[in-house]
Amino acid sequence: MIKLLPATKRSIRCLTTTSSTHELLDKWNCLISTVTIEPTSTGPLSGTKYILKDNIVTKNSTSTAASKTLSNYKSPFNATIVDLLSSQGSTLVGKSNLDEFGMGSANLNSYFGPVINPQDKPKITGGSSGGSAAAVSSGICDFSIGTDTGGSVRLPASYCQVFGFKPTYGRISRWGVIPYAQTLDTVGILGNNIDIIHEVYNVLNKYDEKDPTSLPEEVRNKIDATINTEKLVIGIPEEFILDELSDAVRNSWKEILVRLQEQGHEIKPISIGSIKKSLPAYYTLATAEAASNLSRYDGIRYGDNSQNQVETASDLIFSNRSTNFGPEVQRRIILGNYTLSSDSGDHYLRATEIRRELCIEFSTSFKKSHILLQDGETSTGVDLIIAPTATKSAPNVDEFVSENEENFLNGYVNDVLTVPASLTGIPTISIPFNGIGIQLMGQFGDDELVLQVAKDLSN
């Protein structure tokens, strides 16, 4: 059963938990469409219902990426993760709203209208997986699937007070994910408790030959499955202690640190200097990749055709792209094309160098060696890194819009605490605590430790 919600109403819709026909209510605008994909078998997820971010394709149903250009697109195949979830007993009941093509940190940049925060209506949900977070927060599903490019699962999780897990890059297949920035895009999981997130992760943590970035079996097998959480060393990078942190965030962070110490863990200050350079490096790389990926949507090969009367093919492409892309997507395409131009190529190269430096600095901060870099273990390193997910709790919509209108870069600063883990590809989870989010980060491949310590904290 497929039903597309009209873009023109800009209304707020959501599934009920009790309706067998998945009737829609005007509430949070967390869904773009209702799509039912029944399980193909039984398994550990039997009886669960989930919501899928609408930049992940489902066969013969619309997959819009919240963009006008793909508003009528129907995929001929399912994403790998959809088939995996179906094979283990879970039922897909809807596809969630998002910032167009995953570009945004508030979920206000959707062709289908903004998502409203179920925890506090005047506040933003965070983006770009705001619909996925709102669906979990409002209780209409057992878990949801999002994508995290620079914090797009973790920031909404923080603002909507749910758990949001970004696994190690390459752990979960990206086959069937409509790309924003393919070296950063990571499928993530949102839920109201760690147990369901862990169950879903176990189902999706599989090698996929269709995804060239999927970690091969031999690499996965190198990772030590034995997890010791009795006494850990947990690092606090001084670069995350920002002046912009609100008092509520600072106090909650301190309270979490006290809890960890009470559990027998050691708290250790550390320094990762390249964190300070990570935000500009991220937006240089992400916009460059976006400009390349979105070049295919010209209304001729892919995407909606505006049908405007023009004289040349170039005019038609210009008309299609300016009509069908929202302003934030257009802005990032322009930024990306500038980055890739001959006048600015050095900026792109420098951003790749910063990313490499950041990966090395993070890796050498951990005790365990990086399974790909093979940099060796160190007794002076830490087991995990802890930091806030955002500098403050969810801002009001009016406040966010006003700041963004003053300077669009203000919206980009929301990602300052999340992009380092994205650039390095390390596993990270946002834990809801006192109205904010706290991130736990582990060494590349150390997903199980991150999940286990998050569970201990949540208990």
The string of DSSP codes covering 420-455 is HHHHHT--EEEEEETTEEEEEEESTT-HHHHHHHHH
pTM assigned to the model:
0.93
CA distance 130 to 146: 9
The Cα–Cα gap between 181 and 186 comes to: 10
Could you tell me if 67 and 21 are in contact, meaning their C-beta atoms sit under 8 angstroms apart?
A: no
Q: Give me the pLDDT at residue 17, please.
A: 36
pLDDT value at position 436?
Answer: 97
Which residues does the chain have with pLDDT short of 70?
1-26, 224-226, 374-377, 379
Q: Does domain 2-221 have CATH number 3.40.50.720?
A: no
pLDDT for 226 equals: 64
**Residue 168 has what pLDDT?**
98
Q: Specify whether 128 is catalytic.
A: yes
With beta carbons less than 8 A apart as the criterion, state whether 88 and 124 touch: no
Using the CB atoms, write b or e for 187-207: b if 16+ within 10 Å: bbbbbbebebbbbbbebbbbe
**53 catalytic per annotation:** yes
DSSP state of 140: S
**CA 130 to CA 53: how far, in whole Å?**
9
Q: Which tokens belong to 86?
A: 């179906």
- Residue 290, pLDDT score: 98
Spot the catalytic one: 27, 53, 123, 368: 53
Buried b (16+ CB within 10 A) or exposed e, 132-167: bbbbbbbebbbbbbbbbbbbbbbbbbbbbbbbbbbb
Q: What is the pLDDT of residue 375?
A: 64
- pLDDT at site 221: 87
Q: How far is CA 163 from the centre of its chain?
A: 12
Dmax of the chain from CA atoms? 72
Give the per-residue pLDDT at 380: 79
CA distance 374 to 37: 42
Q: Of these residues, 137, 144, 152, 173, which one is catalytic?
A: 152
In this structure, what DSSP letter does residue 56 have?
B
Residue of 63, 90, 128, 363 with catalytic role: 128
Distance CA 354, CA 349 (A): 9
Active site residue 152: yes
Q: From CA 163, how far away is CA 438, in angstroms rounded?
A: 10
Ranges of CATH 3.90.1300.10 domains, the chain: 2-221
Measured between its terminal Cα atoms, the distance across the chain in Å is 39
Res 224: pLDDT: 64
